[in-house]
Structure 1
């Protein structure tokens, strides 16, 4: 186990963007698989691998790099010590980043899934408010703890482990209309 942690720390130090992106993608894939098996009651052999890979691609090329950059920006401009810095980070993260990034995420997922513009806009209108409300129920407290206790290089890892549950929810929520279309 120590060897794995050492390898991870070295990879994170040498290649922070790639390491964070791969870890984010992996946990988004896991979240989608959990959504398909635990919530949607599919067996492992009936998992929609295209959907899982699309979720993973968004994690690899959008979510991972964006979060890595975002946490570095927060740390650089708002600091990393003290209650004031933590509260500022949470305020910017939840007041500015989260509402904007949810739109970017949903739009990117629709693009990867090759949905037309009308369908993408309808899904955004249908899902945005619910996802934003769910975000505010989970992430502010997580981020207070994360920004206050965790060194910046490990903040994405902490967020992504909590996000395993979040990714499961996002996968289920964003696939709801697809599931309805399939069953009709």
Structure 2
């Protein structure tokens, strides 16, 4: 285990963007596998396309901007470490999170081939998702910015996010099912 940790640390230092994007892909797809197998109990009916979509989102859509975001937050210098933690958590949760929630549900709609559903999906999922995000990530980010070394902050959030991604996968699937049900129940206007 220690050698795996050393190899991961070396990869983070040598190729941070690639390593963090691959980490995000694994964690987003892992969250979906947990959602499908342990919460939804889909067994052999696992939706591999859904898992691949979340892996793509994590590695390509989420990983690069989050890597840059953490690099930005790590460069900000403050007079005291306590002030640094407060401001980094505040920036992360007040500025990034509202955008990231809209981005996630919009991208999922787009990747599912249903971009026209994005506004409704965002509208119905935004408030409950942001409230739950703050309940999880404000304490997690306080720990992250106060005791986790900078090169491991993305990975730390990734581990917390494994369970968060399980929730996001379930929330997105629930919204998609509600939209499909609404489409079935919508009367067709005959001209």
TM over 0.5: yes
1:133 aligns with 2:131: yes
Partner of 2:169: 171
TM-score (norm: length of structure 1): 0.93
TM-score (normalizing by structure 2): 0.89
1:78·1:88 contact (CA, 8 Å) conserved in 2? Answer: no
Give the distance between the partners of 2:101 and 2:167, measured in 1 at CA.
13
Q: Which has the larger radius of gyration?
A: 2
Displacement of 1:162 in angstroms is: 0.6
Aligned to 2:74: 75
Map 1:23-102 to 2 at 5 A: 23-43=23-43, 45-79=44-78, 82-102=81-101
Q: Deviations over 1:33-66 (max 9, x none)?
A: 11111221211x2110001100110000121112
Deviations 1:162-184 (A, max 9, x none): 111100000000010333537x7
**Higher relative contact order structure (alpha carbons within 8 Å, sequence separation ≥ 6):** 1
1:109 alignment counterpart: 108
Taking structure 1 as reference, are residues 91 and 23 closer, same or farther at Cα in structure 2, changes over 3 Å only?
same
2:157 corresponds to which of 150, 159, 167: 159
Measure, in 1, the Cα distance between the counterparts of 2:15 and 2:80.
25
Partner in structure 1 of residue 188 of structure 2: none
Q: How far off its partner does 1:79 sit?
A: 4.9
Give the root-mean-square deviation of aligned CA atoms.
1.6
| 8 Å contact kept, 1:25–1:58 | yes
SS state of the match for residue 76, structure 2? Answer: helix
